[in-house]
Amino acid sequence: MSCKPDEQILSEPVPIGNVTAPNRFFAAPHATGTGSLRDRSTLAIKREKARGGWGTVCTEHAEIHASSDMTPSHNIRFWGTDDQRLATEIATAIHDEGSLAALELTHSGANASNFGSYEPALSPSGGMITPTGGVAPPPLQTRMMDRDDIREFRQWHRDAVGRAIACGFDVAYVYAIPLLSLPGQFLSASFNRRSDEYGGPLQNRLRLLRELIEDAGDAAAGRCAIAVRIAVADFLDPKTGNAELHELFDDIGTLPDLWDVIVHGMSRDAGGARSRQDPGATDVLREIKRLTAKPVVSGNTISDPGTMAQMVRDDVVDLFSAARPSIADPFLPKKMMNGRADQVTHCIKCNICIAGVLQRAPSKCTQNPTFGEQYRRSWRADTVPPRRTRKRVAVVGAGPAGLECAATLGERGYDTVLFERTGALGGRAARESALPGLESWSHIVSDRVKRIARLTNVSIRTGVDVTDAQLQDEGIDKVFLATGASWDRKGGGRCNVVPSRLGTGIRLYTPDDIMAGRLPAGRVLIHDEDQFYMGSTIAGLLAGLGCTVSLSTPASVAAPYTVFTLEQRLIQQRLLRSGVRILPNLQLLSADADHAELACTFTGDRQKEGFESLVLVGGRVPDDRLWHALKTSPANRLDPMRIGDALAPRLLSHAVFSGHKAAREFELDASRDPLDDHAVEQGIGIRQRLLPVA
């Protein structure tokens, strides 16, 4: 099977300087939380993307010097010749799959705290460091670079290009994103307050970037291509016709071999599901294409090959860069180029991948539970181990864990029955996808339903309240229980380990009520102990319906965990603009029919808040009644196993992972602890003959 004729343009090779990308699919630079610390995982992630058909595969940040140490974040260390082993292995692995290898050479400047190297951070103008990642920045100041420092920095970068070539990379980057890189900080008028030839007007602020590109080209001497990654938001001004954007490309537009363009910045271009797509981004890219004859690559989460092909024909981009979509489905290019776009697993922009990195942990993915486990557990997204026996298995509950479990069991070859008590599939993922901003959650359901539909050995039965006797009558040998969880109605949560005292006569709601269409009216107090997206989502929904909404929370801001998904500022901004009162640092002590008693989490001082309706967003309670019944049944032989929220209510990514792990490891020896670093480095894993995923 091949793609449609009008989509074949995506399979065309694209010249990039002295090398040629075999197609237009470009696996973008992105952090994985593994870096040089977990080098085998980093290597396996890059190899799988190349195997999946990405014509060019780029690394994450490769730190070029000790003064750009991002500890405790885990990037690729590329300080000197001692650091070349991993880089060489990555380039070789990518080449072995027929793809180009690109190395993102990076110096983070004022964004580097250097806790590992203890070197002073460098910046154009001095001042405080500006680390990202949702944690309080340390009180450290940077050192303003003088001309000798600049000359030395240029030599570091030139040397790094030479090392990249020695390692076998086809493309070396000059990284110039303002917040995240030293060249970008020189380029930004916000960071660069110099008065010498490197500061002031744009031509001066461009000087260092121009010199770095020229140095890189000289060092490469035709042995590799030079790419520049840049964010152009600071140069966009409709009032001037984007004059600075034109000035920038007039000056350096012809110097690199490839322009990797971010229109705004990480928090917008990589924004979460609740971020609105910028309708002007396409126009900006089209304008840049008119300003340079060099190929342009830019990122998106588009998963329709027809749209992608049209963007190439319309001179919007030459190559499609993807970070999150390449995580959700590393085999996206092969599926699209082989006419199987309907089998692509969609990125839902939940940003759990980014949350892991910002918490200094290996990145994970809600949609792809194998991501990050390619080496540690020997999992691959395109294959599963074959069944061991002819056992007949059942999965009870068709939420995210149950759907993933049933699909994976079926792909392994097991005769599988999926039971769902209600008439609808999807569980919490389906219910939450009906809330504003969470519409993309529906792909968690639809992508797995499509997988099951391609299997003849998996049957779905809805409207069935499963019993022990029924499972026995069906001849089931093993049962996985994905019976989910419900939101706590007793006032328990993160701060309230002991539930709040709740009186009688309260018009009480939980997220389950809201998602079922039972909505409060009038004055509403939402108490958010969960502190992720649910409380703020409900607050925005009810404010939009005309309610007078107050959101109390033990945290200091609304939805604090969304800092790690790059959404907290946007969420709080929207709540405030919609009239929601945010009441931070408050614990819910008790509630009666028309008011709640709250206490400051620091001083214990108490205050009362009136309401007509109270919405509790606290903990969730597993529905494990069937598990207990099966465990205590005298005739039980099913060895029931809880998965997903029925085992422990956690994130959607945990639920999918739990379902996948249970199904993939069923009847296999999983005795090794995959977190044992020594075992990992020795290459010990669950290694079985694998079946391709349908």
Lowest mean pLDDT among 25-39, 41-55, 130-144, 226-240: 130-144
Q: Is residue 36 part of a domain?
A: no
Q: Is residue 356 part of a domain?
A: no
| Tokens read off for 684 | 């010990």
| Tens-place pLDDT, residues 368-425 | 999 999 999 999 999 999 999 999 999 999 999 999 999 999 999 999 999 999 999 9
More confident residue, 171 or 670: 171
| Tokens read off for 10 | 């995506």
Q: Which residues, 6+ apart, have CB-to-CB distance to 552 below 8 Å?
A: 525, 526, 527, 528, 583, 584, 586, 588, 596, 598, 609
Q: Is residue 277 part of a domain?
A: no
| pLDDT grade for 131, boundaries at 50, 70 and 90 | low
Provide the pairing of β-strand 691-692 with 383-384: antiparallel
Q: What is the pLDDT of residue 370?
A: 98
* Mean pLDDT, rounded, for 147-170: 98
- Examine the domain organization and report whether 658 and 586 are in the same domain: no
Q: Position of tokens 């190297």?
A: 117
Backbone angles phi, psi at 523, to 5 degrees: -85, 120
User: Do the beta carbons of residue 285 and residue 263 sit within 8 Å?
Assistant: yes
Q: What is the pLDDT of residue 269?
A: 64
Q: What is the pLDDT of residue 500?
A: 85
Q: What is the pLDDT of residue 66?
A: 96
Question: Domain range for residue 171?
Answer: 44-233+240-271
Q: Is residue 152 part of a domain?
A: yes
Identify the CA nearest to 55 among candidates 100, 9, 102.
Answer: 100
| Tens-place pLDDT, residues 545-604 | 999 999 999 999 999 999 999 999 999 999 999 999 999 999 999 999 999 999 999 999
| pLDDT grade for 499, boundaries at 50, 70 and 90 | confident
User: Hey, is 258 helix, strand or coil?
Assistant: strand
- Residues 199 and 186: their CA atoms lie apart, in Å, by 7
Q: Which amino acid is at 308?
A: M
- Examine the domain organization and report whether 639 and 602 are in the same domain: no
- Examine the domain organization and report whether 111 and 91 are in the same domain: yes
- Residues 164 and 404: their CA atoms lie apart, in Å, by 40
CB atoms within 10 A of CB 456: 9
Q: Which residues, 6+ apart, have CB-to-CB distance to 155 below 8 Å?
A: none
- Examine the domain organization and report whether 549 and 575 are in the same domain: yes
More confident residue, 267 or 454: 454
Q: Is residue 444 part of a domain?
A: yes
Q: Is residue 186 part of a domain?
A: yes
* Mean pLDDT, rounded, for 250-268: 89
- Examine the domain organization and report whether 48 and 103 are in the same domain: yes
- Examine the domain organization and report whether 203 and 325 are in the same domain: no
Query: What DSSP line would sit under 646-680, residue for residue?
Result: GT----HHHHHHHHHHHHHTTTS---S-TT-HHHH
Number of alpha carbons in the 13 Å side-chain half-sphere of residue 94: 31
pLDDT surpassing 60 at residue 255 = yes
| Tens-place pLDDT, residues 84-126 | 999 999 999 999 999 999 999 999 999 998 999 999 999 999 9
Q: Which residues, 6+ apart, have CB-to-CB distance to 682 below 8 Å?
A: none
Identify the CA nearest to 540 among candidates 439, 435, 613.
Answer: 435
Question: Per the structure, how many domains does the chain have?
Answer: 4
User: Do the beta carbons of residue 91 and residue 46 sit within 8 Å?
Assistant: no
* pLDDT, mean over the chain: 93
Q: What's the pTM?
A: 0.95
* Mean pLDDT, rounded, for 245-270: 89
User: Do the beta carbons of residue 375 and residue 40 sit within 8 Å?
Assistant: yes
Secondary structure letter of residue 82 according to DSSP: G
Identify the CA nearest to 520 among candidates 550, 490, 558.
Answer: 550
User: Do the beta carbons of residue 404 and residue 414 sit within 8 Å?
Assistant: no
Identify the CA nearest to 219 among candidates 163, 149, 152.
Answer: 163
- Residues 349 and 537: their CA atoms lie apart, in Å, by 16
| Tokens read off for 160 | 């790094």
Q: Which residues, 6+ apart, have CB-to-CB distance to 56 below 8 Å?
A: 16, 21, 25, 26, 27, 99, 100, 101, 102, 170, 171, 319
Backbone angles phi, psi at 38, to 5 degrees: -115, 65
Q: Position of tokens 């100041």?
A: 141
CB burial of 620-643 (b: ≥16 within 10 Å; e: otherwise) equals bebbbebbeebeebeeeebebbbb
| Tokens read off for 510 | 């939980």
Q: Position of tokens 């939380």?
A: 33
- Residues 163 and 81: their CA atoms lie apart, in Å, by 7
Identify the CA nearest to 693 among candidates 322, 302, 325, 340.
Answer: 340
Give the 3-state secondary structure of 12-55.
CCEEECCEEECCCEEECCCCCCCCCCCHHHHHHHHHHHHHCCCC
Identify the CA nearest to 175 among candidates 92, 59, 290.
Answer: 59
| Tokens read off for 358 | 């910002």
pLDDT surpassing 90 at residue 4 = no
CATH number at residue 127: 3.20.20.70
- Examine the domain organization and report whether 600 and 675 are in the same domain: no
Secondary structure letter of residue 365 according to DSSP: -
- Residues 547 and 461: their CA atoms lie apart, in Å, by 40
Q: How long is the chain?
A: 694
- Examine the domain organization and report whether 215 and 329 are in the same domain: no
pLDDT surpassing 50 at residue 684 = no
- Residues 691 and 694: their CA atoms lie apart, in Å, by 9
- Examine the domain organization and report whether 556 and 652 are in the same domain: no
Provide the pairing of β-strand 100-106 with 127-128: unpaired
Hey, CA dihedral for 531, 537, 542, 544, is it positive or negative? positive
Q: Which amino acid is at 484?
A: G
More confident residue, 569 or 680: 569
Calculate the alpha carbon distances from 442 to 138, 200, 319, 433, 460 in Å.
40, 49, 28, 5, 18
Q: Which amino acid is at 72?
A: P
- Examine the domain organization and report whether 509 and 607 are in the same domain: yes
- Examine the domain organization and report whether 451 and 573 are in the same domain: no
pLDDT surpassing 70 at residue 1 = no
- Residues 388 and 1: their CA atoms lie apart, in Å, by 31
Torsion of Cα atoms, 176 then 177 then 182 then 183, to 10°: 30
Q: Is residue 288 part of a domain?
A: no
Q: Which amino acid is at 65?
A: H
Secondary structure letter of residue 453 according to DSSP: H
| Tens-place pLDDT, residues 79-94 | 988 899 999 999 999 9
Secondary structure letter of residue 67 according to DSSP: G
Domain boundary among 620, 640, 655: 620
| Tokens read off for 578 | 């919609």
pLDDT surpassing 70 at residue 132 = no
- Residues 160 and 83: their CA atoms lie apart, in Å, by 11
* Mean pLDDT, rounded, for 678-683: 42
- Residue 143, beta-bridge partner list: 122
Q: Is residue 368 part of a domain?
A: no
- Examine the domain organization and report whether 400 and 529 are in the same domain: no
| Tens-place pLDDT, residues 293-320 | 999 999 877 888 999 999 999 999 999 9
Q: What is the pLDDT of residue 682?
A: 40
Hey, CA dihedral for 373, 379, 383, 386, is it positive or negative? negative
CATH number at residue 423: 3.40.50.720
* Mean pLDDT, rounded, for 131-154: 86
